[in-house]
Homo-oligomer: A and B are copies of this chain.
Amino acid sequence: MLGRLNHVALAVPDLVAAATKYRETLGAKVSAPQALPEHGVTVVFVDLDNTRIELLEPLGNASPIAAFLEKNPAGGMHHVCYEVDDIIAARNRLTADGARILGDGEPKTGAHGKPVLFLHPKDFFGTLVELEEA
């Protein structure tokens, strides 16, 4: 069922500082910051040879990463995103196995314009898992 690792998301308190560190200290290719107000984040993409890192900074008053940064003010690893071919089939298999989908259980349009789901970290050993239909 799992295909590629689409991205690893790292929440950071200061996106410009984090992007600068990835570009200048680690020598990575980083995008310009992109505000995604409908997702409550501003994102910088770090392009690696086989996948990408997404550096996330909260945007607006209801950011989904605000609580995480309150708990981890320095930032930290926020979630991993795995690609699946068919997100409805994936959802049905997961719920049949007792895994909980965050929200109302229906896929939403994610930050890349594709259907996504988030799985409850308690069902995946403390890791927040996003599934994205590739």
Give me the interface of A with B, judged by CB distance under 8 Å: 1-5, 8, 10-14, 17-18, 21-22, 24-28, 46, 48-51, 53, 55, 72, 74-80, 82-83, 93-94, 97, 99, 121-127
Q: What's the minimum C-beta distance from A98 to chain B, rounded to whole angstroms?
A: 8
Most buried by B among A2, A26, A50, A74: A26
Subset of 25 A-B contacts with CB under 8 Å: A1-B27, A2-B27, A2-B48, A4-B50, A11-B126, A12-B125, A13-B125, A17-B125, A18-B125, A21-B123, A21-B124, A25-B93, A25-B97, A26-B82, A26-B94, A50-B50, A72-B126, A74-B121, A74-B126, A76-B121, A76-B126, A77-B77, A77-B79, A77-B80, A77-B126
Question: A123 — which chain B residues lie within 8 A by C-beta?
Answer: 21
By a CB distance below 8 angstroms, the chain B residues around A11 are 126
- On whether the beta carbons of B13 and A1 are closer than 8 Å, the reply is no
Copies of this chain: 2
A99 → B minimal CB distance (Å): 6
Taking CB atoms, residues of chain B closer than 8 Å to A94 are 25-26
Return the 9 tightest CB-CB contacts between A and B, nearest first: A1-B27, A75-B125, A77-B77, A76-B126, A75-B126, A74-B126, A12-B125, A2-B28, A25-B97
Least distance between A3 CB and chain B CB atoms (Å): 5
